[in-house]
Amino acid sequence: MLRVIDDMSGADTAEALGLPEQTVKTRLFRARERIKRELLAHFDAQPEAAYAFHLTRCDRVVRAVMNKLALMADRTDA
């Protein structure tokens, strides 16, 4: 969590946890592998399904962002 979510360096994470930096690297590697295995198991070992690109969802998000940006631009023009 500290390395990935809190964006801490390996050295800072090791210091915070009182562990050698190599242990932090090993645990992060193992955690990523476990997440990968869990995802593949959830998607019946079909990696293409786990990483599918959902174009319609992306379009919806882009549309919402563009609308908010337009509203912000209107406010600054007024």
| Res. 51 pLDDT band, cuts 50 70 90 | low
What amino acid is encoded at 72 in this protein? M
The whole-number pLDDT of residue 68 equals: 92
- The ranges assigned to domains in the chain are 10-77
8-32: per-residue pLDDT in tens? 999 999 999 999 999 999 999 999 9
* Separation between Cα atoms, residue 6 and residue 24, nearest integer Å: 14
- Describe the crossing of helices 21-42 and 10-17 by its angle, rounded to 10 degrees: 100
- pLDDT of 43 over the 80 cut: no
The whole-number pLDDT of residue 46 equals: 67
Sign of CA dihedral 11, 17, 22, 26: negative
Q: Which residue has the tokens 């549309």?
A: 63
pTM score: 0.54
